[in-house]
Structure 1
Amino acid sequence: MTGSIDAAESSITARAGIAVARVGVGLMWIQNSGWKTPPDFGEDRDDGLYAQTRLAVEHEVLAPWAWLVEHVVLPNFTFFAWATMLLEASLGAFLLVGLATRFWAVVGIGQSVVITLSVLNAPGEWHWSRFLMVLVHVLLFAVAAGRYHGLDALWRPLWRRSPGRAGRLLLRAS
């Protein structure tokens, strides 16, 4: 084959598959933020996000992470719970529409690692589900998934022509 045609760029099926995967992961994060119920996030009932967060201490995966959760996160749980819910809802929304997808894929990798460090050794956890969350975000980053039927595809030409720093930053994030 002559030339350098990227397989994903040349196949309508591949482009649609990337978009479907991106939308599916976005919906996963939106659903995942839905069970985090303010204002106490389960702290008063010892369930929900609070109970899930405690698993990092009760079923330690990494000692420094368990220490951080026990001494920083749990004493300031309400702040971290709101931050988690807002981060996951934003992650889902941006992936869903395909905007700044590479940036949000990196955020997804980070959040997936945090979840993995918190629950990996908990009873009933299938460890591969956590690793797959990390891997799918790596894939979304690698293929710049928002460029396939997402807002990144629509706005990249505008950002490319933009003389300002914001345009360059958005180009890199997409």
Structure 2
Amino acid sequence: MAVTEQTRRPNASDEALVSSRLSRALVALVRITVALLWIQNLSWKRPPRFGNHSDPPDGLYQWTLNGVQHQVFAPWAWFVQHLVLPNFLLFAWLTFLIEGCLGAFLLVGLATRFWALVGVAQSMAITLSVLRTPNEWFWSYFLMIAAHLMLFAVAAGRAYGIDGVIRPLWRQRGGVLVKLLRAAS
């Protein structure tokens, strides 16, 4: 059967991959759970020193040291040793800000695809820093990456998130900014 304008669904490319109420609720549940994971993990990254100057080192500083002490990938260990550690407070505040935004934006479902990609990148950075740390369950880092890829793939913010509310408004408008916002949602 040939596809005609009458048989084609309108805006099919804009629809989320999930259509049942149960599927949307489960996608929203995973999105919110991942958001809460990021928010909860801010609690041990204690500003303003983030575990730096502790004896022994603790908090984010200790976990950053793990990227050098338990090397996973030599170029990453070099980056951590020569760029991150000498500028630790800058990187610590950036980490705190990025992970706080990850939690907040995923929680409300705004620009979810963009923040899911940020989550993949942040999870990769964490993985490259701690994968070989003794007594770490390495699957947790692969699961974090997989969860963020799923959030990206199903446009999770469209399921009971702000993306689902404002995306129809963006469909009515043109322009480069609107196209970027639609891609991020």
Q: Shared fold (TM-score greater than 0.5)?
A: yes
Among 39, 43, 47, the alignment partner of 2:48 is: 39
Q: In the alignment, what sits opposite 2:139?
A: 128
Provide the secondary structure at the position in 2 that maps to 1:9: coil
Q: How far apart, CA to CA, are the structure 1 residues paired with 2:83 and 2:18?
A: 46
Q: How far apart, CA to CA, are the structure 1 residues paired with 2:83 and 2:113?
A: 29
Q: In the alignment, what sits opposite 1:100?
A: 111
TM-score (norm 2): 0.89
Give the Å deviation of 1:113. Answer: 0.3
Report the structure number with the largest CA radius of gyration: 2
**Alignment deviations for residues 58-92 of structure 1 (CA, whole Å, 9 cap, x no partner):** 00000010011000000000000000000000000
Q: In the alignment, what sits opposite 2:161?
A: 150
Give the Å deviation of 1:7. Answer: 9.8
1:60 lines up with 2:71 in the alignment = yes
CA RMSD of aligned residues (A): 1.7
TM-score (norm 1): 0.94
From the superposition, tell whether residues 99 and 7 of structure 1 become closer, same or farther in structure 2 (CA, over 3 Å): closer
Q: In the alignment, what sits opposite 2:4?
A: none
Q: How far apart, CA to CA, are the structure 2 residues paired with 1:28 and 1:119?
A: 17
Q: How far apart, CA to CA, are the structure 2 residues paired with 1:139 and 1:133?
A: 10
Amino acid at match of 2:49: D
Q: How far apart, CA to CA, are the structure 1 residues paired with 2:173 and 2:35?
A: 28
Give % identity: 58
- Structure 1 stretches of 4+ with a deviation exceeding 4 A read 3-8
| Aligned 8 A contact 2:16 2:155 in 1 | no
Q: How far apart, CA to CA, are the structure 2 residues paired with 1:8 and 1:163?
A: 24
Q: In the alignment, what sits opposite 2:35?
A: 26
Deviates more, 1:158-167 or 1:90-99: 158-167
What residue ranges of structure 2 are gaps of 5+ in the alignment? Answer: 1-7
| Residues paired across the two proteins, number | 172
| Aligned 8 A contact 2:18 2:154 in 1 | no
Q: How far apart, CA to CA, are the structure 1 residues paired with 2:85 and 2:151?
A: 32
Structure with more of its chain in helix, by fraction: 1
Amino acid at match of 2:50: F
From the superposition, tell whether residues 7 and 140 of structure 1 become closer, same or farther in structure 2 (CA, over 3 Å): closer
1:83 lines up with 2:94 in the alignment = yes
Q: How far apart, CA to CA, are the structure 2 residues paired with 1:86 and 1:9?
A: 31
Q: How far apart, CA to CA, are the structure 1 residues paired with 2:113 and 2:16?
A: 19
